[in-house]
Amino acid sequence: MKTHRPFVALTLALCLTGLLAAQLALAAPPTTGEVPTRDQIEDKYKWDLTDIYADREAWEKDFKRMQGIAESFPKKYKGKLTNSPDILYGALQDSAQVGVEFGKIMVYAHQTLHEDGNVPTSQEMAKRAIGLATKLNEATSWMEPEILSIPEETLRSWITSSPKLALYEHHLDNIIRGKAHILDARGEELLAMTGQMGAAANEAYTSLCDVDLPFPTIKDENGNDVELSETRHYMFRTYPDRRVRKDSFMGTMSAYMPFKNTIAALLAGSIHGDVFTTKARHFDATLEAALFGPNIPVSVYDNLVKTINKNLPLLHRYAKLRKKMLGVDELHIYDLYCPMVPKPQEEQYTYEQAKDMVLTGLEPLGEEYLTAVRKAFENRWIDVYETKNKRSGAYSWGTYLVHPYMLLNFNGTFDYVGTLAHEMGHAMHSYFTFLNRPPVYGSYATFVAEVASTTNEIVMQEYWLQRAKTKEEKLFLLDQFLDSIRQTVFRQTMFAEFERAMHQAAEAGEALTAERLGKMYMNTMQKYYGPTLVMDPEAEVYGLRISHFFRAFYVYQYATSYSAAATLAVGILDEKPGALENYLGFLKAGSSEYPIDTLKKAGVDMTTPKPIEDCMKRFETLLDRFEETLES
Ligand SMILES: [Zn+2]
């Protein structure tokens, strides 16, 4: 848990599935020809940053003004918040406003840099924006401790008696509930001093895996020598050629094997760091501490793991189907990632076609939603094509006082139409939040950040299936959709279960040796996939190398987000009364409530098995449809 919420986020808000997709990424299609420069692209395919500032001069002018605010803000308010509800209100109002005004500076600088990362003036602008963020964070970091020095009763009575301050009730409640876990000045100082020590295990692990680890060379499908790496392993494991998949798996594991004790010790070090902070901050368990920030009840985590365990027979059925489809005599880990159905002749779509497909596919979301999507398409909120030195990947970002933006590197594939729908989900979530909430609640929590994007993906799935002309196309799509639930829901829950077991063992004072962790992981994986999966002894290091485990209790959100989205999307597709209205309400809620409450209002209670069960039902329906289509 952080002692205070930073005033402005320093890092780019990349999407969770974006990160996940990057890990799972297939080989990028070879790009042929020259990459165009920005001036070769028509304006209508480039985002328009003049919506934020007319030019760099205007940015400079605003930058100076904000520097002044960083100086004047503490002078105006520091030491005075305890005086009266009016002063407290003024400070909260001003700091929220400064936050959104700074958003313009940050977004303009970074998005300019993302257009062409090689321009020194843009690099400098981005660096200066981050420097200013640090200054503004310093200028406001005293606020939370000062608010907490007001007795809770006084603060609550101020909120009830001052109609203006009532707007900040939820914001203040969020600060107040942290009080029990904040230490005295010396305690906080000591904890801050442990920061660098705590990061050492993760840093050592990253250096070992990214730099020092010697990967072997294997022969690719054409018989050429290729030196392995994690990225190449992610690519090779999707190959139809089983020999390549197997060599890649064995080769990658053989790289980690000699270091298994080192990696286990580093992982244990990271977990012991979490245990230390947990105890220091008076939490009962590391899980409770990790979920405290977004105020997620531990029951949500337990419920996810329990409900998925109940539904494991579905994954066992899937494993059998996979074995049959691949025609292998034994199903191994290296058979889990290649498509069960080969990709039919890849169609290429123009951006105009992709836009139409997204607009048609998202029709179930209704006119209010579609009007906003058209607005994004027609007003240059999107930077469409790859250009020289442009940032890779795709994201949605934007700023409260203007509107959301989207960066793409559109390549015309089926996958990319999905990416467009996904990023549009993020953009619409931001758009409706910006429009309907005051600055203080104008963003949303990580816990719900992937819900809108995934809802779009699931709504689009039905459109794709209706569009499919041949049996092969249909099977290919069903395979893809099944795989997204398998990887996002089953696999991430398996990680979550393993992670929890590791932390519990550490909390009980038990030793986390390589042998023990390796066995724990293999047993969990065997339980998930069932008897069809033949476990290779090399899998001992398979789980140990997953870098997410250095960031405790993070991955479960992939599974909860997907399940919430499945419930919402299926409700909308089935035209369940109120489903669409509730969904739009969710998009408009921002951070005005705790994320679990926002979802509850939208009809998804994550403390109950229902949303996870809904998602499992969808998996089962897709399995049924796959088998029916196969037999047809
Ligand atoms: Zn995303």
Matching residue, tokens 């579609």:
370
Residues 404, 453 contacting (CB under 8 angstroms): no
Q: How far is the CA of 423 from the centre of ligand 1 (A)?
A: 6
Helix (H) or strand (E) holding 405: strand 404-407
If you measure from the C-alpha of residue 18 to the centroid of ligand 1, how many angstroms do you get, rounded to a whole number? Answer: 5
For residue 22, what pLDDT is reported? 35
* pLDDT value of residue 199: 83
Query: What's the pLDDT at 195?
Result: 76
Q: How far is the CA of 76 from the centre of ligand 1 (A)?
A: 39
Q: Which sequence spans correspond to the domains of the chain?
A: 47-182
Of 3, 378, 341, 433, the residue nearest 178 (C-alpha): 3
Q: How far is the CA of 172 from the centre of ligand 1 (A)?
A: 29
Residue 1 has what pLDDT? 36
Q: What is the CA radius of gyration of the chain?
A: 25
- Between the CA of 396 and the centroid of ligand 1 the distance, in Å, is 8
For residue 329, the CA-to-ligand 1 centroid distance in Å is 37
Q: Which residues lie closer than 8 Å to 427 by C-beta, 6 or more apart?
A: 376, 381, 396, 398, 404, 405, 406
Burial 175-209 (b: 16+ CB within 10 A, else e): beebeeebeeeeeeeebeeeeeebeebbebbeebb
Distance from Cα 419 to the centre of ligand 1, integer Å? 9
Catalytic residue from among 115, 423, 450, 497? 423
List per-block mean pLDDT (blocks of 10 residues) for the chain, which spans 632 residues: 38 40 36 79 97 98 97 95 96 96 96 95 95 91 92 95 94 93 86 81 88 90 92 91 96 95 94 94 95 94 97 98 97 96 86 97 98 98 95 93 96 92 97 97 92 96 91 95 96 96 96 96 97 95 89 92 95 95 97 96 95 96 96 92
CA of 561 to the centre of ligand 1 (A): 10
97, 442 contact by CB (below 8 A): no
Report CA(444)–ligand 1 centroid distance (Å). Answer: 13
The separation between CA 93 and the C-alpha centre of its own chain, rounded to angstroms, equals 29
Q: Tell how far the Cα of 442 is from the centroid of ligand 1, in angstroms.
A: 18
Which of 342, 345, 323 has the alpha carbon at shortest distance from 333?
323
**CA 429 to ligand 1 centroid distance, Å:** 11
The alpha carbon of 581 and the centre of ligand 1 are apart by a number of angstroms equal to: 23
DSSP symbols for 516-571: HHHHHHHHHHHHHH-TTBPPPGGGGGTTTT-GGGGSTT-THHHHHHHHHHHHHHHH
Q: How many CA atoms lie within 13 A of 402 on its CB side?
A: 25
CA of 16 to the centre of ligand 1 (A): 5
Output the CA–CA distances (angstroms, integers) from residue 254 to 213, 223, 241, 537, in the order listed: 11, 20, 20, 11
Q: Rounded to the nearest 5°, which phi and psi values hold at 396?
A: -120, 130
Q: Which CATH number fits domain 47-182: 3.40.50.1370, 1.20.140.70, 3.30.360.10, 1.25.40.10?
A: 1.20.140.70
In whole angstroms, what is the distance from residue 296 CA to residue 280 CA? 20
Residue 423 annotated in active site: yes
Q: How high is the pLDDT of residue 29?
A: 38
Instruction: Report how far ligand 1's centroid is from the alpha carbon of 453 (Å).
Output: 6
